[in-house]
Structure formats: structure tokens, C-alpha cells
Amino acid sequence: MNNKDILPILMFGDDKNEITSAKQYAEHFKNEFKNVEKIKQLNIHRCYIIFHDNQKKSKFLKDLEMIYEYHAGSCTTGVFLYKNSLVAIAQLGGPAAVNLMEELSVFGIDEFVAVGSAGCLDDKVKNKFVLVSKAIRDEGASYHYLKPSTFVLTSSELNKEIETYLKENKFDYTKGITRTTDAYFRGTQKKTKLSKNLGAVCVEMECASWAACAKFRGFKFSQILYFSDVVINIRQQWQRITKTTKEALDKKEIIAQFVKNMIDDYSKK
């Protein structure tokens, strides 16, 4: 094959002899991972992942013990201990999301439940939660973990547990497909139509990356999505659901409380 015909993103190999790894990173920055043994001794295996702008102002997060600081470029977010779980704040996009998952695995975490926002592709579900069954791989990170394919599945076992919780607490939800993309501002009509033809009801920037990493590493991963905007509606135009920064922050705090309640329920089992 001529070098100019090579498409690197499609050239996944099964080689597990990694030059870089989270384990190596942890060994190099031992002080940052000083709480690893503490979490392992507590036998904590699950992390709930959220997105939040200001952890210090969060009613849920502000008084929790921070056991790790996750660094994504120039941004730093916290990972907190709450009951029998960790709660992590993620950064936007697949690469940062996957790095968070990889680094948390050093603590012995092998179950991940993410709750994040998405753009709605179907007016019928814009007021519901979406429990993701699979994600369309329209991003880059997943191709470093799995061979090329259209979809990657989330954990059916973890999904059943979460669906039971949603049903018992009478949340309005649907099970569905999401499209994960790297390019927030390149949502074209052609790509949106293709997404809908493949069954997607929403679009976001992390799910496929997380799901691929989890599948490769043998983790369990599930994601619940709520809507921050409508990418396409009956008028075929983009529309923001949360109109102001304060409204968006308030919604993220509601989601943080939603996750708190999920952990409260999980800790009783």
C-alpha cells in the first residue's frame, strides 16, 4: 500500500504491548496517586461520571473528600469519594474522557456510569433521559481500542441495573442510540440524516470513546444522557434548551443530585 493511501484511524492492531499506559503514568507521578491503596482497601469498584462547571459551588460535591485531581491539559477536575463509589467530573471530548477512565482504573475502578448532556435528534424524546444501548463511532479515540465498526455497545448488565433504578423511581426515559463526534461545530445536514438513519436519537462527544475503552479493558460502562440542545427539530434548525449559563449550571447541579440519589440507592444493595 502506498503511504498516501494509508488511513491511520482505520489501522487498529491487536498489539497490547503499549508504550504508554496509565500504570506507567501512575508510577511516575506517585504523589498524585497517593490514595490508590485507600480506595482499593475500601473495595470500591464503581465510579459515577458527571460534567460540572464549579465543584466548589455544588451542594453535592463541595463537602466530599477529593481523592484525585484529574489533569486534562490546562484543566483540572476532581474525583471524589462518596459512600461506596467515586464521583468524577469529566472534561469535554473523547480523548479526555478516555484518559480519565484509564487513570481511574489504577484505583481499581472497573465499573463506570456516566451521566452527560447531548444534542437531541428527535423531538419525541427531548424531555426524556436516554439510556444508551450503543454509540455510533464518529470520533477518533475508540479506534485506538477496537477494530473499525459502525457501533460500539455499552454494558447490557449495567444497563439492566440502571433501567431498574429508572423504572422504580418513575423517571421518563427511553433506550436508544447516540452518535459520538469529535467536531461540535461540524454537525452537517448530511451527517445528521445518516445518524438518524442509523437509529440515533442524539449526539454527544464521549460515549463511543468510553464504551470502546471499557470493552477493550474489560470494564463495565453505561451512560445516561439528558438534553442541553436540539440539533434538529420540526423546523430543521438548532435550538438551545438551556438559554443561559446560570440555567445550564442549575441543570448540571440537578444532575449531580440525580447521581447522588443513584449512589444512595446503590449503596443500600
Burial (CB < 10 A; 0-12, 13-18, 19+), residue 14, is exposed
pLDDT in tens, 28-61: 988 999 999 999 999 999 999 998 877 777 889 8
Model confidence at 249, pLDDT cuts 50, 70, 90, reads low
Burial (CB < 10 A; 0-12, 13-18, 19+), residue 72, is middle
Spans of all domains in the chain: 22-252
Q: Select the more confidently predicted residue: 151 or 232.
A: 151
Rounded to two decimals, the pTM is: 0.91
d(CA 139, CA 207): 10
pLDDT in tens, 157-190: 999 999 999 999 999 999 999 999 998 888 777 8
CB distance 132 to 223 below 8 Å: yes
d(CA 210, CA 221): 7
Model confidence at 250, pLDDT cuts 50, 70, 90, reads low
Could you please report the per-residue DSSP string of 198-267? Answer: TTEEEEESSHHHHHHHHHHHT-EEEEEEEEEEESS-TTSS-EESS-SHHHHHHHHHHHHHHHHHHHHHHH
Q: List the CATH code of the domain at 22-252.
A: 3.40.50.1580
pLDDT at 122: 84
